């Protein structure tokens, strides 16, 4: 470990509202940094020692287990990659539910509404309020504090943590009093974002194959009816330069889209385009792209068409 870490002092010694944060990955670390920079007393937990050491060096207390966090912090934030990991951290051995100091648990992850409702029931039995508050905006938004936050749960509890959420997001929405509604809103958003992105990728490749300059295409599209978040942000920032920085992993977008199709099927709402989007994302993951940013999916369309969008743009008919 890179630094000596101060372990969590007993909760009884804390006279102020301490914040716990579990999950310091690409998103979580940046959100936790914003809370810490705002002067919030923090206790953090993650499975990567070097990340914990970095937070300890900045004055955060460190916990080895989630239960240590909930034994020391009144409010616990979660930012974890999968529904399974959220459930395990909350309800598993040495989980958050075993602590005796926490009053509110705020899940910033994307789990789907069924997991959110399940967790809300278990925490309610312990007198803990659960707020599901998934976020949108990616790594850039997490670092800048410009995320959109979609919170659902008890209104009074939401209002008590709203100032903290506004350290993380520029747009904080109260979706409703039923836990899980925030998750449903996030799945709707991410399905639409994924659909827009894949449609943009394949049509921009078609345009490049026809001989159109990619930047000119974006200039036209972004002041016309075809514009979307991919043409406005993802393609200009990640594709044209051919850098494909990791902002949102393909496997995580696939997880969100899969959760959305599952919820739709359970509700009896057909997602014709959504099923195709899920299949393309599943293909990309199967090709070994799960850990890469989802912008790299455009490279499959480029390979099939023999044209490139961006700095290496090929002439029509030229293979890569």
Q: How far apart are the first and last CA of the chain?
A: 44
8 A C-beta contact, residue 26 and residue 5: no
Under a CB-based contact definition with an 8 Å cutoff, are residues 3 and 53 in contact? yes
Q: Let me know the angle formed at the C-alpha of 272 by 268 and 276, rounded to the nearest 5 degrees.
A: 130
Q: What three-state secondary structure class fits 77?
A: strand
* Catalytic residue from among 103, 117, 186, 234: 186
Residues in the chain: 320
Quick one: DSSP state of residue 237? I
Instruction: Please say whether the beta carbons of 73 and 19 come within 8 A.
Output: yes
292 is catalytic: no
DSSP designation for 294: G
- Tokens 């998934």 belong to 134
H or E segment to which residue 20 belongs: strand 19-22
In 10 A of CB 156, how many CB atoms? Answer: 9
Pairing of strands 169-176, 61-62: unpaired
Q: Using DSSP bridges, classify how beta strands 19-22 and 42-45 pair: parallel, antiparallel or unpaired.
A: parallel
Asked if 247 and 138 count as a contact pair (C-beta separation under 8 A), the reply is yes
How is residue 96 annotated by DSSP?
Answer: G
CA 28 vs. chain centroid, Å, equals 8
Helix (H, G, I), strand (E, B) or coil at 151: strand
Across-strand partners of 132? Answer: 107, 152
Residues involved in catalysis: 186
């Amino acid at each position: 470990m890179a630094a000596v870490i101060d372990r969590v002092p007993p909760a009884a010694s804390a006279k102020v509202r301490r914040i716990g944060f579990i999950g310091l990955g690409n998103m979580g670390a940046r959100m936790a940094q914003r809370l810490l920079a705002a002067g919030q007393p923090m206790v953090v937990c993650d499975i990567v020692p070097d990340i914990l050491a970095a937070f300890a060096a900045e004055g955060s207390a460190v916990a080895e287990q989630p239960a240590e966090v909930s034994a020391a912090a009144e409010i616990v934030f979660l930012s974890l990659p999968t529904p399974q990991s959220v459930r395990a951290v909350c309800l598993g051995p040495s989980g958050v539910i075993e602590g005796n100091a926490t009053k509110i648990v705020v899940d910033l992850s994307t789990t789907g509404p069924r997991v959110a409702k399940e967790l809300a029931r278990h925490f309610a039995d312990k007198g803990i309020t659960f707020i599901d508050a998934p976020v949108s905006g990616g790594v850039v938004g997490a670092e800048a504090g410009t995320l959109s936050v979609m919170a659902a749960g008890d209104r009074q509890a939401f209002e008590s943590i709203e100032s903290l959420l506004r350290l993380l997001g520029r747009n904080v929405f109260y979706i409703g009093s039923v836990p899980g509604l925030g998750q449903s809103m996030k799945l709707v958003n991410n399905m639409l974002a994924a659909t827009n992105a894949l449609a943009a990728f394949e049509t921009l490749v078609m345009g490049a194959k026809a001989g159109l300059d990619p930047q000119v295409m974006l200039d036209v599209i972004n002041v016309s009816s075809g514009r979307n978040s991919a043409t406005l942000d993802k393609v200009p920032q990640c594709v044209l330069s051919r850098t494909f920085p990791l902002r949102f992993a393909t496997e995580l977008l696939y997880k969100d889209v899969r959760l959305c199709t599952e919820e739709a099927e359970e509700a009896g709402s057909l997602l014709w385009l959504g099923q195709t989007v899920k299949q393309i994302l599943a293909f990309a993951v199967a090709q070994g792209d799960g850990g890469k940013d989802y912008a790299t999916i455009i490279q499959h369309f480029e390979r099939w068409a023999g044209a490139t969008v961006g700095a290496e743009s090929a002439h029509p008919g030229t293979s890569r």
